[in-house]
Every structure is written in structure tokens, then in C-alpha cells.
Structure 1
Amino acid sequence: MILRRFFAEKSKGFYVDVGAHHPKRFSNTFHFYKQGWFGINIDAMPGSMQLFNKQRQRDINLEIPVGPDQSSLTYYIFNETALNGFDAHLSQQRASSLDPYHIERTIKIDTKSLGSILDEHLPPGMHIDFMSIDVEGMDLDVLKSNNWNKYRPEIILVEILDNSLSKLKSSDVNKFMESCGYEMYAKAVNTVLFKCCEPRNTVG
């Protein structure tokens, strides 16, 4: 609802969804797609983009693991795909505490930086209105892999499960976003919105 209000007067726009998971389920971008927006959906899960290619045909749908450039990481695959991710501690914690969810298998996959993905796939001259990042414990790594001098979305959504506002203020994610010229703008249940404080930069 916060995001819808922020962009209420904007009929067309562009988004980037990192950890997109599903074209509709738990999606921060599907509402905007229905309104005529389009964007880039990215997810590491093998086969994840088959459904996107059917249901989000205006979008650019990429099956690419995002993280430190050219790193080989272990990807944890659950029987509930919304829990999939690279964070070993978080994955093991969820497997032991979230019955009936469990890890079905792990695979080794090579990551690409967010900046390099945008270099390759962002349409020329396109400004990113907002970016949603939900990668189950690897959010800071994804943020650090962006080229912030070049790609500066107006709003960034990051999944942060801690609901303490004082802890959020001192969190590594908030400190990093502040160093990039963003400020904490709003807090939903499991998501924090950051707003760009500097003039927006259109990539040519």
C-alpha cells in the first residue's frame, strides 16, 4: 500500500525485482504490472522463469543468481520455494524450526553482480522507479553488488525481518543505504523502504 500511494500519480514506470520468486504470489511488482508498468524480474531458482515468461510477458525475466560477481555459492532449495536462498545459517534455522518446511537439496551456482546484470539487460535510457530485493538473508550482498553511481532507483524495498525500529536504524543495511545517499522512508511488516535523497540519475 505504501508503494502504491507513492506512485499513485504515475501511470507507467519501470521496476526491478531481485528474488522475484513468483509472477503473482508474494509479488511487490504484480500490481504495477497490471497497471501497465514493466521491468526486470530476477530469481536464482532453476526453472523459475518459465511461469514468468507465461504470465509476465512484457517483463524481462532472468534466471540469474545475484551476489558478489563471479562467486560460486551454495543455494538451498526448500519444499516451499519462497524460502530458497544462499544464507546457510538462515536456511538451517528455518529447516529446524519451520515445520513442515525442509531443505530438499542444495546446488552450487555462480552469481553475477546486480550492476553487471543491469549493464546487460536494462533498456537504454531507462530509469528504475523502484527496486525490490528479497533474497533471504543475502540482501546486503545484493545491495553491495549494485553500481550506485550508475543505477539509483527512486525507492528500494529490502526484506528485513527485525521489527525493532532502533535496531533497524543501526543495521548494516541501513548504514550502507545511507552511505549510498538513501534514507529510511517507511516500514511494513517485513519490508523496509528506502528513498533516494539525491537527484535521480537516468542511465544513457
Structure 2
Amino acid sequence: FQVWVEEEIAPIEILYRIRGPLKSDDHRLIDVVKKQYILPPSLLPYNLAKPQATDYHEHSKGDTWGHIHTFLKNVFSDEPPGFFVEAGALDGEYLSNTLWLEQAQGWTGLLVEPDGTNFHHLQNKHRKAWLSNTCLSKDSFPKEVVHVSRTLRDGDRSVGIPWNTRGSSHEFNVDVVPNTSLLAMVSEESYSVTQCLPLDTLLLALNVSTVDFLSLDIQGREKDVLRTVPFSKINIRVIVVEIVEENVDHDFLDFMQRSGYVLVNEDTVPRLQDQFYVRKDDERLAQKLKRVVFKWQQL
């Protein structure tokens, strides 16, 4: 019979333990995350796509970016600088949901991107935010997962654009891209082991308890991650989450309501691509949203 004593665990064991169950607020885990899994905001000038690279900027306004950007402008244009978290940050510019907040509104935050190639490009953009080359854990503890990266085959531009060579990036067996899709057929897969961390672990490492805007686009794990968030300890004011599914998940909507959020949307039926959630008790945002096109909906 061996008694486990917290203080006697060697540092090397902590490095192994973060691959499996370990409490998300363990002080030794927080220390490791600070030292090894978070990079500070860049002090260098931005290294964004040149203004003449119009194709990049035009394509970067595709998909649902414009819808999200309009929402953010309505909500945060007259707000003081806040703190954001964007998981699935890509290169920090293409389809970024937080770059405008950082550049135009003076915000800072945390950018999480598990794909190695995307993260390399993210570092080179010199964002004024913290960076983490990890994924968000679907459990309330850190763990390692097999990560799949899709890269468009050399010279194949039938899908994507020159700046978007990454087909998609996702946790193994959690792929929102059907194998029969054109994207799947023209891309090659590579595999790597990636460290996943609970969102609250990353925020504890940064000593942050209020997140003004959380953007989740993590290829099928969004709802799982949100179910692990200790909302009683972290004040997340606005959440934009990509959910790609054919039918509305009423169980998840009920969960978000119980967690203290209301769904804000242009229509009476939630968009199946992006869902917008705002804390019920944030009166300042509630009054603001009632005055614009987005309706304040009781779930």
C-alpha cells in the first residue's frame, strides 16, 4: 500500500502526467503550461499579408466571417479593450475572428492552434496576443491526442487558395469533412501527437478569469469543450461557436441555457453553421443587442 503525496511527485513525472488525468487547476500543471505551452504577445510590427495581396483579403472574408464580424462590431465597437480566446486560430489572419478586435479595438487575448504548420505561420504574423500550439481538451483534464492534418496535394488548387493549403485539421476520428467530399479526395493526411489542455488551465496560467469573447472553430469538438468549462469560475461574456450538423441539438441548447446563456441570432431558428451565445446576466450587452438586428431570444 502506497500513499500518494502531492509534494513528492518529481517534475519529470508531471510532464508524463499531463498526458493523462490530472486536475485542470493543479498548480504544477499550471507551472508547466506557463513555461512550455504559452508564448507571449509579439513586440514586433505586424507581418500581415501585404495590402496589394487583394486575393488573400477577399478570400479571407469568405465563409461566415462577414456574419461573425458584423455581430462583433454591433456588440463590441463601443466597448473598452477586452480579452479574447480564439481556438482554431489558423495563421492568425485568414478568417480570423479576433484580428479586428486586436488591431482596431486594442484587445489582447489567447490564440490556440494545434496544427504545426498553421502555428508556424501564426507566429510569423506577430499578433499581440498569447499563443499556444495545443488543442482544447474535451475533458476536464489534460491529455494527448492523435491530431490529423490535411494538406492539399502539390499543385492541386481545385479546392482552396494558395494561402490556404491546409485542407483541415482535427482530432483523430472527429472529422467534420466527409470522406466523399472533394476536399477529402484532394488532400493528404499526416498525423502527430498533440497536447490538449482544458480551457480553464490555459486561463489560470494567464491569470485570466474574464473572457469577453470566445471563438470556437475546432472541427467537431466545440460542444464537448464547452461542456468542460467551469462557467461558475470563468466569466465568458460572448461565445461564437461553429456547429456543423443537419439538425438543431436541443440538448446542447438546454445545456447552454442552464449554464447561464441565451442564444442570439438573426432568425428564430439557430444557424447550423455558427451559434452566438451571450450571458443572460450581462445587462450591458443585453440592452445593446436589443437595439440592433440581432434578437434577444429566450431558449
CA distance in structure 2 between the aligned counterparts of 1:82 and 1:27, rounded to whole angstroms: 16
Equivalent residue number for residue 94 of structure 1: 178
Q: Write out the 4+ residue segments of structure 1 that deviate beyond 4 Å after TM superposition.
A: none
Tell me the SS of whatever aligns to 1:148: coil
Q: In the alignment, is the contact (CA less than 8 A) between 1:76 and 1:103 conserved in 2?
A: no
Report the alpha carbon displacement of residue 98 of structure 1 after superposing the two structures with TM.
2.6
CA distance in structure 1 between the aligned counterparts of 2:256 and 2:167, rounded to whole angstroms: 25
Question: Alpha carbons of 1:101 and 1:189: their partners in 2 closer, same or farther (altered >3 Å)?
Answer: farther
Q: How does 1:1-204 map to 2 (within 5 A)?
A: 1-35=70-104, 36-67=106-137, 68=139, 69-79=141-151, 80-81=165-166, 83-86=168-171, 88-90=173-175, 93-99=177-183, 100-123=185-208, 127-162=210-245, 167-168=247-248, 170=250, 172-186=251-265, 190-198=273-281
Query: Which residues of structure 2 form unaligned runs of 5+?
Result: 1-69, 152-164, 284-299
Tell me the SS of whatever aligns to 1:52: helix
Report the alpha carbon displacement of residue 41 of structure 1 after superposing the two structures with TM.
0.4
Report the alpha carbon displacement of residue 74 of structure 1 after superposing the two structures with TM.
2.1
Output the aligned Cα RMSD.
Answer: 2.4
Report the alpha carbon displacement of residue 47 of structure 1 after superposing the two structures with TM.
4.5
Question: Alpha carbons of 1:189 and 1:70: their partners in 2 closer, same or farther (altered >3 Å)?
Answer: closer
Instruction: Output the amino acid matched with 1:134.
Output: D
Q: In the alignment, is the contact (CA less than 8 A) between 1:48 and 1:63 conserved in 2?
A: no
Report the alpha carbon displacement of residue 144 of structure 1 after superposing the two structures with TM.
2.1
Tell me the SS of whatever aligns to 2:278: strand
Q: In the alignment, is the contact (CA less than 8 A) between 1:129 and 1:153 conserved in 2?
A: yes
CA distance in structure 2 between the aligned counterparts of 1:2 and 1:82, rounded to whole angstroms: 27
Query: Which residues of structure 1 form unaligned runs of 5+?
Result: none
Q: Which has the larger radius of gyration?
A: 2
Q: Aligned residues: percent identity? A: 19
CA distance in structure 2 between the aligned counterparts of 1:120 and 1:101, rounded to whole angstroms: 40
Deviations 1:135-189 (A, max 9, x none): 0001112112322111121110100124x7xx4361x432321121111112567
Instruction: Output the amino acid matched with 1:63.
Output: N
Tell me the SS of whatever aligns to 1:61: strand
CA distance in structure 1 between the aligned counterparts of 2:71 and 2:80, rounded to whole angstroms: 16
**After the TM superposition, which of the residue ranges 19-28 and 181-190 deviates more from structure 2?**
181-190
Question: Alpha carbons of 1:154 and 1:101: their partners in 2 closer, same or farther (altered >3 Å)?
Answer: farther
Report the alpha carbon displacement of residue 45 of structure 1 after superposing the two structures with TM.
1.1
Report the alpha carbon displacement of residue 103 of structure 1 after superposing the two structures with TM.
4.0
Give the TM-score taking structure 1 as reference length.
0.82
CA distance in structure 1 between the aligned counterparts of 2:281 and 2:203, rounded to whole angstroms: 20
Tell me the SS of whatever aligns to 1:111: strand
CA distance in structure 1 between the aligned counterparts of 2:271 and 2:74, rounded to whole angstroms: 13
Q: In the alignment, is the contact (CA less than 8 A) between 1:134 and 1:158 conserved in 2?
A: yes
